[in-house]
Structure 1
């Protein structure tokens, strides 16, 4: 039996309320118990017997079973309606065209049916929607005996061509899944991995050669999974060249205007990887391209990417000694509404760092105060890497603010919550770093000593400056500033641009 309680708790609070409203609108009978059952499942940890007694006053297994079945069907309809609203409008439009065409063909209106199929075929080809094209060609072939004005050989040719593209898309889906599976396995083994080589080997095994036959969607799928891995392991340098080389192959794709969404995504990921590798000029060049395509097609995707674009631009400015410009960009978003929660969190965290670098500790304190939820909440919303960064920044800030009680609490919480995870992803250097920070916090007088300096040098296995992640270097810059008694922002710029 489907666990209705688990399904309901997977919804956000807002979606739970929307579902109850949906049930109340749908129910014609005033005595319907659907919404009551939802409330009981959400609020109390009750047994089936207790639920039945609250709903019916007695134990009524048959009625409760029937009610649960109705509620499950309502859940299916509700989530399907949401998915339809969120689904790509082109896909939905083409499905409607296809269903309409089939309806006309079934009733013998062959000319009208094929006219609708032709319109659907043109749009599907423009957007490289191969699975929908497969259904269109299947329908054309099915009714071809009734239409003497079409070329049967042409339909078969188009069908076979599309089959090749559909097979490529399916194989790329396998590649995507195998890359993801391999990354998980490497993470469990705590071993390092050459992501570029992994991708090349898996593509070779599937007999796939990256070329301009790729759609931007296919490229985005592969790049996105490598991007996620790099974020977890802080090694953006490992995928940077692969992304750039692949983008160069398909940047003049014949249907790129119809794939703007994925094109912009690829440009953003590339710009971000270059920023994390401290190649600021190149990063900003890709940001300029991103901004250009954001403004194409009457700014169709501008609002989708405005925050991500400006945040990455501001980060580039902060690390190229244009801090005031970076702060100015992000401060315009503080009072803006209708910004998704992830973007909002990223802006507050970036501003905290910018203010911290600017020695505006009160502003940094005010910015970090926006993070008033539990760490579990932030992990659910923004992921564990974001939450670890947030927690580290807060510890450093509270040390500089002199909030002793808060520092002790945050240090103990970090050790308890994240040390095991950091060990599992081969990031023991973060643990080492925090122990050195704790040494400074408890005995600040030793931080300028030769002994402490040697301890720092011997504690880390440093990789090349070009390969080290910019945020990892930023954290170290804070410690080095304490050791040398110099400004943290100047030390940060010196380490990054040396």
Structure 2
């Protein structure tokens, strides 16, 4: 998908019609072909696009003009429809400055006061900075103003503004480090990187200021936990998040995007720590928030919500429900993000695998036609490792011994160093046990082998072990005990 097609796909159907009307108004000649190109790009039909426009330089020039038209249309549309309180505050600041410039001081101070009240309510420290700056600049015009009190408010806000900026710098810095890890261009101790960054920017995690800052903290915490498979270490953030939301209930809808993200992170943490009922409760809250403000964020979050719902259902013993949820989503994902589709497909493959529906797993695995390097870039190394593990176990079940041995060899060659540096050698130990199963399945179920496997595999406590790690271990345990893999998985996840 090229960038113009990507932008077009962000438009709703009615907005696409409005854009065509916008182009018609702009077109001075009847032979302009920008509307024809727009209609082709709506379907991302690159082959047809090249066939219709054989003159490539002319095509690129036309596409470039269409790109600029799209930017102008979207900007105009968003400003036209933007009724946010932040925009209202900006208007009030600008109006107050205009009043000051025209010596309308009483109206200027009154307008500035309105802006301050709104900005304080929304905790917009950047806008308050502008308000106090303007107020201090013209304070000499009003003798009733307490200059020391005004300076005090300015300094308090400056500290909060600086804290928020420092957290933003730390967040951006850690996102850069995460991108390197996911691309496979760097492997290091992310926990050390987090601690060093917090120290460098003097961040206090005990004083979360806004919904945005809480979202940033939870994002980094989730990414750290995903890299280390240690979600139990970050569950304290669920409690922190709950107390924050309870304290700022009246602001939640004004920061709806961040609030929905926060609820998703909380639900995900609880799911990975096997607290499925609590996770479902937060997903219900998330869905309620997604219905607000004319469902403005519904499409953006729907796939993530449904994927996490399906995972909760699957590990609660409702595998059929989980499979139906994902299958229905995949039937209507034309405009969805590729990354989300891949997550859904891999989860569906796991669900079918746990039900021993191996042909269905094969059909899904066949759709993963790109190279590991492509998936690492698109989804990250950890996702690609999981995809490979599912494929290896599938072919182990199908008795494709030669193929599995080949895949094991290439897997170790590609990921051994990465797993070792992450202290996740147990993945390699697990694969070694899979290899032994292929060569001697009878010995695999013997008491001697069971004892050896338990001593080799570094199993964490039930409370600390990650749910997805348990899913792979469940296959090993099911083979040893000659039992149903889904049944064993549920026992490991829900021992009570």
Which stretch of the first structure deviates more once superposed, 421-430 or 89-98?
89-98
Q: Secondary structure at the match of 1:333?
A: helix
Q: RMSD in angstroms over aligned alpha carbons? A: 4.2
1:444 pairs with 2:441: yes
Query: What residue number does 2:155 align with?
Result: 160
Residue-by-residue CA offset, 1:33-72 (whole Å, 9 max, x unaligned): xxxxxxxxxxxxxxxxxxxxxx9xxxxxxxxxxxxxxxxx
Equivalent-residue separation in structure 1 for 2:301 and 2:316 (angstroms): 23
2:300 to 298, 304, 320: 304
Q: 1:117 Cα shift?
A: 5.2
Cα deviation code 1:301-322 (max 9, x no counterpart): 2222221111111101101111
Contact 1:447 1:453 in 2 (8 A): yes
After superposition, the C-alpha distances for 1:352-385 in whole angstroms (9 at most, x for unaligned) are 1111112222222222222112212211121111
User: Which whole-Å deviations, capped at 9, do the CAs of 1:89-110 have from their partners, x for residues lacking one?
Assistant: 7567766765676566556676
Q: Does 1:249 align with 2:246?
A: no
Shift of 1:171: 4.4
Q: Give the alignment of 1:124-203 within 5 angstroms.
A: 124-145=119-140, 155-173=150-168
Corresponding residue to 1:259 among 255, 258, 270: 255
Q: How does 1:112-127 map to 2 (within 5 A)?
A: 121=116, 123-127=118-122
Contact 2:349–2:361 (CA<8 Å) still a contact in 1?
Answer: yes
Q: 2:420 aligns with which of 423, 430, 448?
A: 423
Q: Secondary structure at the match of 1:369?
A: helix
Residue 245 of structure 1 and its aligned partner are, at CA, apart by 2.5
2: CA distance between counterparts of 1:398 and 1:84?
54
- Deviation for aligned residue 1:392: 0.8
The more displaced of 103-112 and 221-230 is 103-112
Aligned pair 1:14/2:28, yes or no?
Answer: no
Gaps of 5+ in 2: 8-22, 24-56, 58-66
Aligned residue number for residue 388 of structure 1: 385
Instruction: Please name the residue that 2:354 is paired with.
Output: 357
Q: 1:340/1:105 Cα in 2 relative to 1: closer, same or farther (>3 Å)? A: farther
User: How many Å apart are 1:138 and its aligned residue?
Assistant: 1.5
Distance change >3 Å, CA 353–CA 463, structure 1 → 2: same
The alignment status of 1:223 with 2:218, answered yes or no, reads: yes
Deviates further, 379-388 or 201-210 = 201-210
- Separation in structure 1 between the aligned mates of residue 104 and residue 448 of structure 2, nearest angstrom: 89
1:345 and 2:342 equivalent? yes
Gaps of 5+ in 1: 1-11, 19-24, 26-54, 56-74
**C-alpha distance in 1 between matches for 2:145 and 2:486:** 70
- Please name the residue that 1:487 is paired with: 484
Change (3 A) 1:420 1:256: same
Contact 2:280 2:309 in 1 (8 A): yes
Q: Using a 3 Å threshold, how does the CA distance of structure 1 residues 377 and 127 change in structure 2: closer, same or farther?
A: farther
In the aligned structure 2, how far is the partner of 1:180 from the partner of 1:192?
A: 11
Question: Which secondary structure does the structure 1 equivalent of 2:459 belong to?
Answer: coil
From 318, 322, 328, the counterpart of 1:326: 322
1:273 matched to 2:269? The reply is yes
Query: Could you tell me which residue of structure 1 aligns to residue 234 of structure 2?
Result: 239
Match of 1:473 in 2: 470
Alignment of 1:363-378 (within 5 A): 363-378=360-375
1:141 Cα deviation from its structure 2 partner? 2.9
CA distance in structure 2 between the aligned counterparts of 1:468 and 1:325, rounded to whole angstroms: 25
Aligned counterparts of 2:188 and 2:163: Cα–Cα separation in 1: 32
Number of matched pairs: 430
Q: Is the 8 A contact 1:98 1:117 kept in 2?
A: yes
Q: Is the 8 A contact 2:96 2:108 kept in 1?
A: yes
Deviations 1:293-343 (A, max 9, x none): 222333332222221111111101101111111111111111213221221
- Given that residues 276 and 469 in structure 1 are in contact (C-alpha distance below 8 angstroms), is that contact kept between their aligned partners in structure 2? yes
Structure 1 residues 180 and 408, CA, compared in 2 at 3 Å: closer, same or farther?
A: same
Rounded Cα–Cα distance in structure 2 between residues aligned with 1:175 and 1:139: 29
Q: Displacement of 1:473 after TM fit?
A: 0.9
Distance 1:361 1:138, change over 3 A: same
Alpha-carbon distance in 2 for matches of 1:463, 1:379? 27
Distance 1:456 1:278 in 2: 24
Describe the shift of the 1:363–1:120 C-alpha distance in structure 2 as closer, same or farther (beyond 3 A): farther
User: 2 CA distance for matches of 1:181 and 1:138?
Assistant: 33
